[in-house]
Amino acid sequence: MNPPKESCVGIARPIANMGRFAAEQVGDLGRFAVFCAHMFGWVFTDFTRWRLLRPQLYEVGVRSLPVIIFTGAFVGMVLAIQSYPQFELLGQAPWLGAVVNLSVVKELGPVLAGVMIAGRVGGALAAGLGTMKVTEQIDALRAMGADPIRHVVVPRFLACLLLIPFLTVYCDFVGIVGGYVVAWGYGVDTHEYWMHSANAIENWDIFAGVVKSVFFGAAIALISCYKGFQSRQGAEGVGRAATEAFVVSFMAILILDLFIVMFLQGLYDALWGRTSIFLS
């Protein structure tokens, strides 16, 4: 007895939907690759327009400082508050600085700064470019013979690439200060606190955090600008583009963080071998 046609259609529909979704994602990935290639072509060949870059430097850098200060300070303080009881029970309270500051510099500072910037800057980039597309400003640039990627995307990309590493270092600094304030409040010896911190943090750790932030900044700018360019018509389309820009940027930060940590840790072990901060 042959099964009814309705049941066959019901079974095939989810498979067809999965195939359609996969095809859409592959096509979207291809369009994103073309978008990135077009943008990098202008970056490496002919972009010297300071008047276009300057306002983006202000938007990405200066206007992100309050968020970075807030994030760094509370990350350092919360980490110190949660870690102190365990160190006190072991009689090693001065080691609190080594663990807190190393965690902030190597991992929490770059990642959380990237996430906060993805929310503030990435969403704004996608919404701004989406609005330009909806109001046909992008088409107007093309009609005047100007490349919108050169005049709109490249300045935003360079601003993120240049300033997000500095914002990350600033977040690290504020987080370190926040952790010290908590340690000082608990009565931890200041000299031993900073001595253990200085012995634990190497130049490589600072370098690793900056390298992460460079990749995070590039990912945030590329993804957000692309989502803005792909925005659908209407306010709903612009809002969806801003949301997708943050979500995809957040996922990209986590994925990049994993692979960068694996690569840099392997490189460090190959060059200097494994060491322990508690034996320094």
At 245-268, the pLDDT tens digits run 999 999 999 999 999 999 999 999
87: amino acid identity, one letter? F
- Among residues 109, 117, 16, 19, which one has the least CA distance to residue 62? 117
Is residue 45 packed enough to be buried (19+ CB in 10 Å), middle (13-18) or exposed (0-12)?
Answer: exposed
Measured between alpha carbons, how far is residue 209 from residues 123, 131, 139, 202 in Å? 23, 34, 39, 11
pTM score > 0.85 for this model? yes
75 and 21 both lie in a single domain: no
6 and 80 both lie in a single domain: no
pLDDT number for residue 259 = 97
Q: Which residue has the tokens 């993120």?
A: 160
At 16-64, the pLDDT tens digits run 777 776 777 777 788 888 888 988 888 888 766 778 888 999 999 999 9
d(CA 152, CA 142): 12
d(CA 47, CA 115): 28
Q: Is 5's pLDDT higher than 60? A: no
142 and 30 both lie in a single domain: no
61 and 155 both lie in a single domain: yes
Complete DSSP assignment for 51-62: HHHHHHHHHHTG
Residues of the chain above pLDDT 70, percent: 93
Supply the DSSP symbol for 189.
Answer: -
Distance of CA 241 to the CA centre of its chain: 17
Q: Is 279's pLDDT higher than 70? A: no
The radius of gyration of the chain's CA atoms, rounded to the nearest angstrom, is 23
162 and 218 both lie in a single domain: yes
Is residue 166 packed enough to be buried (19+ CB in 10 Å), middle (13-18) or exposed (0-12)?
Answer: middle
24 and 98 both lie in a single domain: no
Tokens matching residue 97: 């600085």
Range of the domain at 217: 50-279
134 and 16 both lie in a single domain: no
266 and 161 both lie in a single domain: yes
At 131-163, the pLDDT tens digits run 988 888 888 888 888 888 888 899 999 999 999
147: amino acid identity, one letter? D
- Among residues 162, 164, 72, 161, which one has the least CA distance to residue 120? 164
At 199-208, the pLDDT tens digits run 889 999 999 9
